[in-house]
């Protein structure tokens, strides 16, 4: 997860950026088009892809765009493949995006990471693509990804990478070099922009040269120092949204890339991985670690070792009493009672220690005073909610 520096917000609010009309003619918006073009270039350099679209308004829409391009590529080859392989660790948006493109989703069981044998067993001539997250939602690097990409290609498929976890790879490895054909970026998880939550956000998509003709319209191009929106692309999958992009989000990501520089981005990745592993080392004696492979930017514990009928939800609610916004719980689904901790790279050792102390104190309470967990939160304004009712019939007005 990311810290969103204030300077990005200030730059996105500059009147020249924030007050321009999205339908402004190209000759009056050369600065904005240049920013988009240079962000495209930067993301291509970081990921290794030769071409990229900035259009999608969220990671999920990026997935949808990527799968549409895969579909268009197969159609252009005369292929009628109708299945997409997705590992059991995937984020829910992955099968949803594939299904929205008309694909039948085939789940692949993984043992933390995907094996070549599991993909080989499922990879027949009806499979259009494998959709894989790297590092996956357990925070584990897909160690066999190169062999898996080779296998999928040999059998006529393409590989989509959910790049939401790219914060663990910046400056260390480029997904395109691993054999990936298409990947979306979650700017809000890697490039310090606010989370889209389905929009407004941005989920750019990088593609291989073979998929470049299918990019959505328009694509920002530069010819002899002049920038323009290219709409003359006969094989394009078309438009995903009314205007070119969610521009304010792009300004923030561009500012982040330039202020960090190549060395700074790599350092952010190294610190994200270090912080997650520090938390892992401090908590693994107290909380069950279902997958013991080395983790990258996030670590997933479970509630399997908690005594006295204490569960993940109780830990999350008790964290509120200690003043912490709880981490993601009950995801990924392959871990029963999952507690996924993804510390921001900017957190200091002191902050990480305070959080770990709270988690260790809660584990002790589970042993000796389980009622403190069962009753939590006691220090928050509201106690436990009926979460289904809150989601279905939210009360959106503050009432004194
Ligand atoms: C692994 C993974 N894939 C996809 C998404 C979807 O991204 P968005 O919320 O921008 O649609 C997320 C969201 O955080 C994610 O963590």
Question: Residue 1: pLDDT band by 50, 70, 90 thresholds?
Answer: low
One domain, residues 231 and 339 = no
Ligand 1 atom closest to Cα of residue 162 = 3
Query: What gap in Å lies between CA 108 and CA 114, rounded to an integer?
Result: 8
Q: Residue 395 has what pLDDT?
A: 85
269 inside domain: no
How wide is the angle at C-alpha 134 spanned by C-alphas 133 and 139, nearest 5°? 100
One domain, residues 50 and 135 = yes
One domain, residues 198 and 324 = no
User: Rounded to two decimals, what is the model's pTM?
Assistant: 0.95
Query: What gap in Å lies between CA 150 and CA 145, rounded to an integer?
Result: 9
135, 272 Cβ separation under 8 angstroms? no
One domain, residues 35 and 183 = yes
Mean of the per-residue pLDDT values of the chain = 95
Range of the domain at 156: 6-261
Q: Which of the listed residues 207, 240, 261 is the one where a domain comes to its end?
A: 261
* Ligand 1 mutation pick, 2, 56, 57, 59, max ligand atoms within 8 A of CB: 59
User: What residues flank ligand 1, with Cβ below 6 Å?
Assistant: 58-60, 91, 93, 133, 137, 162, 164-165, 186, 189, 196-198, 201, 203
273 inside domain: no
One domain, residues 91 and 193 = yes
Ligand 1 geometric centre to CA of 57 (Å): 12
The owner of tokens 């001539």 is 125
280 inside domain: no
Ligand 1 geometric centre to CA of 162 (Å): 8
Residue nearest to atom 9 of ligand 1 (CA): 197
31 by DSSP, 3-state: which?
helix
pLDDT tens digits, one per residue of 223-268: 999 999 999 999 999 999 989 899 999 999 999 999 999 999 999 9
One domain, residues 21 and 105 = yes
One domain, residues 239 and 306 = no
Q: Residue 199 has what pLDDT?
A: 52
227, 38 Cβ separation under 8 angstroms? no
Ligand 1 atom closest to Cα of residue 90 = 1
pLDDT tens digits, one per residue of 267-305: 999 999 999 999 999 999 999 999 999 999 999 999 999
Distance of alpha carbon 184 from the chain centroid: 8
What is the maximal distance between C-alpha atoms in the chain? 72
Burial class of residue 182 (count of CB atoms within 10 Å of its CB; 0-12, 13-18, 19+): buried
Residue 146: pLDDT above 60? yes
16, 31 Cβ separation under 8 angstroms? yes
Check which CATH number belongs to the domain holding 200 and give it: 3.40.640.10
Number of compact structural domains in the chain:
2
For residue 54, give the nearest of 44, 40, 68, 33 by alpha carbon.
Answer: 40
Q: Residue 390 has what pLDDT?
A: 87
Ligand 1 geometric centre to CA of 369 (Å): 37
What number is the average pLDDT over the span 127-142? 98
* Start-to-end C-alpha separation, the chain: 33
At 307, list the tokens: 């005594």
Q: Residue 396 has what pLDDT?
A: 85
385 inside domain: yes
Residue 196: pLDDT above 90? no
One domain, residues 242 and 312 = no
The dihedral through the CA atoms of 54, 60, 61, 63 has a sign that is positive
* Ligand 1 mutation pick, 186, 198, 327, 333, max ligand atoms within 8 A of CB: 186
Ligand 1 geometric centre to CA of 66 (Å): 14
DSSP H or E segment with residue 190? helix 187-190
Q: Residue 2 has what pLDDT?
A: 81
173 inside domain: yes
């Amino acid at each position: 997860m990311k810290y969103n520096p204030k300077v990005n917000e200030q730059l996105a609010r500059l009147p020249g950026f924030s007050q321009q009309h999205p339908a402004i003619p190209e000759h009056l918006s050369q600065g904005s088009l240049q920013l988009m073009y240079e962000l495209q270039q930067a993301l291509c350099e970081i990921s290794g892809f030769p071409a990229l679209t900035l259009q999608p308004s969220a990671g999920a829409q990026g997935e949808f765009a990527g799968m549409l391009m895969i579909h268009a590529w197969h159609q252009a080859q005369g292929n009628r493949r109708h299945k997409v392989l997705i590992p059991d660790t995937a984020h829910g948006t992955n099968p949803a995006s594939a299904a929205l493109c008309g694909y039948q989703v085939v789940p692949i069981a993984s043992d933390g990471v995907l094996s070549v044998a599991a993909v080989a067993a499922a990879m027949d001539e009806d499979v259009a693509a494998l959709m894989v997250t790297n590092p996956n939602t357990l925070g584990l690097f897909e160690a066999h990804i190169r062999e898996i990409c080779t296998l999928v290609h040999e059998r006529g498929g393409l590989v989509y990478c959910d790049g939401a976890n790219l914060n663990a790879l910046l400056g260390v490895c480029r997904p395109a070099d691993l054999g990936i054909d298409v990947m979306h970026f979650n700017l809000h998880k890697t490039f310090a922009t606010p989370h889209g939550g389905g929009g407004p956000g941005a989920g750019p998509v990088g593609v291989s040269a073979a998929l470049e003709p299918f990019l959505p319209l328009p694509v920002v191009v530069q010819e002899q120092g002049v920038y323009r929106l290219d709409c003359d692309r006969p094989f394009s999958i078309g438009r995903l949204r009314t205007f070119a992009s969610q521009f304010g989000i792009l300004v923030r990501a561009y500012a982040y890339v330039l202020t960090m520089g190549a060395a700074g981005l790599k350092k952010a990745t190294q610190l994200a991985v270090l912080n997650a592993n520090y938390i892992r080392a401090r908590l693994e004696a107290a909380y069950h670690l279902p997958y013991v492979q080395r983790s990258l930017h996030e670590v997933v514990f479970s509630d399997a070792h908690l005594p006295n009928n204490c569960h993940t939800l109780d830990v999350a609610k008790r964290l509120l009493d200690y003043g912490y916004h709880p981490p993601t719980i009950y995801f990924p689904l392959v871990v029963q009672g999952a507690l996924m901790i993804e510390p921001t790279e900017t957190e200091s050792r002191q902050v990480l220690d305070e959080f770990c102390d709270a988690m260790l104190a809660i584990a002790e309470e589970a042993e000796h005073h389980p009622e403190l967990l069962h009753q939590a939160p006691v220090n928050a304004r509201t106690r436990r909610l009926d979460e289904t009712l809150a989601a279905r019939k939210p009360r959106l007005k503050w009432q004194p």
